[in-house]
Amino acid sequence: MKKLMLTTSLLLSLNCYSNQDTNEWEFVVESDTGTKFYIDMNNITREGEFIFYWIFGNYITPVGNEYYSSLIQNKGNCQTLERIRLNATFYKELNGKGDTINLDESSINDEWETTELIKHTLRKICGS
């Protein structure tokens, strides 16, 4: 039993490490407040005019006065340059560290939205 647990633990560790190697975070935009956003360029998928992507942000001013970074899965529309959030994890420290809060579709604003930052991000990803 101990051997099975050790093998399982080792395989999970290797899997997590190898997944980090497949991520290619590329700086995409900085907000007026100094928040920097990065896109995982190796994990972008397309379905028609829609694109699914992950964006990571480090915030100068914390979100909700307690979260300094986030990892958010989005669905973007390359034609209208709008996006909707699908999943989000907020971290209490920069660079995705510290305690977290996880939000899914049921607890996130499920309306399409656009801002100049979203348009810039989608133009970069969609190639327009």
pLDDT digits (tens, 9 = 90+) for 11-40: 333 343 334 456 889 999 999 999 999 999
Cβ(81)–Cβ(123) below 8 Å: yes
**% of the chain beyond a pLDDT of 90:** 70
Class of domain 25-126: mainly beta
pLDDT tens for each residue of 57-81: 999 999 889 999 999 999 999 999 9
Sequence spans of domains, the chain: 25-126
**Beta-strand relationship, 67-77 and 82-93:** antiparallel
Q: Is the pLDDT of residue 8 over 60?
A: no
> What is the C-alpha to C-alpha distance for residues 126 and 128, in angstroms, rounded to an integer?
6
